[in-house]
Amino acid sequence: MLDIPSRVRVHVETLLAAQIDMGVCDAFEQYAPVGKPYTMNAPHPPKVAGIDSTVPAPAHTVAPAPSAPDTPVVTTGPGVLLQDRLAGWVSDLTTLHELTERLARTGTLPDALHELLGAGAALVGARRGLVVLEPDDGLGPATTIGLGLTPADLGHLETVPRAALPHGALLDTRAGRSGQPTEVVRPDLLAEEGLHPRHRDVAARLGFAASYALPLATEAAGRLGAAVWLYDEPAEPAERQRHLAGLYVRYATEHLARVLDVERTRACMATMSEELLPARLPRVSGVQLAVRHRTGPRGGGDWYDALPLPDAALGLSVGSVTGSGPSAVAAMGRLRASLRAYAVMEGEDPVAVLSDLELLLRLTEPARSATALFAYCEPALRRITLAGAGHSPPLLVGERRTRYVETSVSAPLGMLACWEAPSMELQAAPGETVLLYTDGLLHRTGDPVDRAFARLHAAASGVPRAARHDPGAVADHVLRTVLPDGLDRTDGAEDVVLLAARFE
């Protein structure tokens, strides 16, 4: 409860009227004491507005001091009512603060939608629900996520005509139209007159008897979708619960709009990168190929390529352009296309190929540099001639040896007035695999360079014997070992390319 000093004089009826007219926050702010703050003791009740709080009470709340034995306890009157009201407001604000902070920590769209469903269910006192994401701009993504509902349950709901469902009433109304519903309350579905028969059947089958729906819409974000919560028994949220849920959903909509923009940008950059890289790897006699590519959230300039060459040869290349974003992706596409042309003309001389690429980079991309590695492979002889420009050395993996292929130390392309470095030749044994990779694989480990190289070597040495015949299995094992705990699948700050070539 709140200890209100005698110096603070507030008219109770005026304060209650202000609460109704202005809302909790405005009324609390207007009638708060001005000047030196006084001590306030407001216990955090274990359950407010249907919420079982799972977080500790705020630091500014303490247990009320016990009253003296001779002091009479006042249990009625305007002062007690005012204290109860203020305590409820403080508790509501604390609850909203906790829930919005949890939502703000979500960084992906699925996580944000699940957090929205869970917090909303706690606010309105429901156990299950679903959120339908359908942005008004038509750019997607369109998805439905359930809370306490299996994919089969969501499938049953989809058999109900859309207009009969709560989210259909919210989403199928033209945005901005007068009379657009701001909520849909159905306190007793089975007793509701005019309910669609299919809706009644699905509700009985899934075991829910009431629903409450809110639109995910604000003036700034537009309309993104709708959230629906389901009750096991006939029920509806109280006015206080609706008010809290409305405040939370408006904040959640703004957060979802920001996350949605990030997701769209990420998907666009990934699509651009994938379209500028080979759609599939070629089939060449005597060698098996596999590649694993992970694109960073901002889009990077890492590339890979495998190109059939005359005389049954094969050209392999990996590289990375400095920078990130659309400009780096575009520069990567230009360099990769140019390297393919140079490889066709003089692929048997990797130094000449990289020299031509370096000249092109200095003339067309003077503000950029790039690392690159090109290998001219003769699968019938299992012979590889390669040259590198500031790039990490390949890794040879076999039954009897796992070692880095020592390449000459050289600067990246575009760093010197004229680039040139000697090539080297490698003879692979039958069944051995050559791994070409970009620096992003090492950087994502977070280790120093020497330790990252040691981790990569250990991962390649530990490839199970049963997996060594499949270059894809070798690449997967290396990725999972070098980047454990799912880091091989998540987006990182940099691109990752791992190209595996197994010689028969």
Q: What is the DSSP string of 307-342?
A: EEETTTEEEEEEEEEEEESHHHHHHHHHHHHHHHHH
Token digits for 472?
Answer: 């894809």
Gap between the Cα atoms of 374 and 306, Å rounded:
10
Total domain count for the chain? 2
Residue range(s) defining the domain that contains residue 132: 103-270
336 touches 318 (CB < 8 A): no
Rounded distance between C-alpha atoms, residue 317 and residue 501, angstroms: 11
Q: Which of 246, 270, 294 is the last residue of a domain?
A: 270
φ, ψ for residue 198, nearest 5 deg: -70, -35
Instruction: Looking at the structure, tell me whether residues 284 and 265 fall in a common domain.
Output: no
Looking at the fold, whether 224 and 306 belong to one and the same domain comes out as: no
Do the bridges between strand 128-133 and strand 143-147 make them parallel or antiparallel, or are there none, so unpaired?
Answer: antiparallel
Say if residue 318 is in the same domain as residue 221: no
Tokens representing 84?
């109860």
User: Given 247, 270, 293, which residue is the final one in a domain?
Assistant: 270
Q: What is the pLDDT of residue 47?
A: 41
Residues 315, 231: one domain? no
**CB-hemisphere CA count at 13 Å for 197?**
0
Mean pLDDT per 10-residue section of the chain, whose length is 504 residues:
40 41 41 37 39 41 46 60 82 91 92 95 95 91 94 94 92 61 91 92 94 94 94 94 94 94 82 82 95 79 93 95 85 92 93 92 89 95 94 93 86 80 91 95 91 95 93 95 76 83 95
Residue-level pLDDT at 489: 64
Q: What is the pLDDT of residue 23?
A: 43
Q: Is the domain of 337 the same as that of 249? A: no
Whether 404 is covered by a domain: the verdict is yes
Greatest CA span in the chain, whole angstroms? 106
Q: How far apart are CA 144 and CA 113, in angstroms?
A: 9
Does residue 425 sit in helix, strand or coil? strand
CATH number, domain of 245, equals 3.30.450.40
Alpha carbon distance 451, 448 (integer Å): 5
Q: How far apart are CA 225 and CA 141, in angstroms?
A: 11
CATH of the domain at 426: 3.60.40.10
220 & 299 share domain: no
| CB contact set of 29 (below 8 Å; sequence gap of 6+) | none
Quote the distance between the C-alpha of residue 130 and its chain's center: 20
pLDDT in the model for residue 70: 54
- Whether residue 183 lies inside any domain: the answer is yes
Alpha-carbon distance of 342 to 67, in angstroms, equals 90
pLDDT at 205: 94
* pTM for this model (two decimals): 0.62
pLDDT at 98: 93
**3 state DSSP class of 150:** coil
Query: 129 has which bridge partners?
Result: 147, 229
| pLDDT for the residue 186 | 94
What is the DSSP secondary structure assignment for residue 251, as one 8-state letter? H
Q: Are residues 424 and 439 in the same domain?
A: yes
Whether 148 and 297 map to the same domain: the answer is: no
DSSP letter for 279, please: S
Pair (133, 170) in one structural domain: yes
Contact, 100 vs 123, CB < 8 A?
Answer: no
In a domain, 9, yes or no: no
Question: 234 and 346 in one domain?
Answer: no
Q: Are residues 226 and 256 in the same domain?
A: yes
Q: Which of 182, 176, 187 is nearest to 211 (CA)?
A: 187
Chain centroid to CA 504 = 41
Same-domain status, 260 and 281: no
- Report yes or no: 461 and 433 within 8 Å, Cβ to Cβ: no
Domain endpoint, select from 241, 270, 299: 270
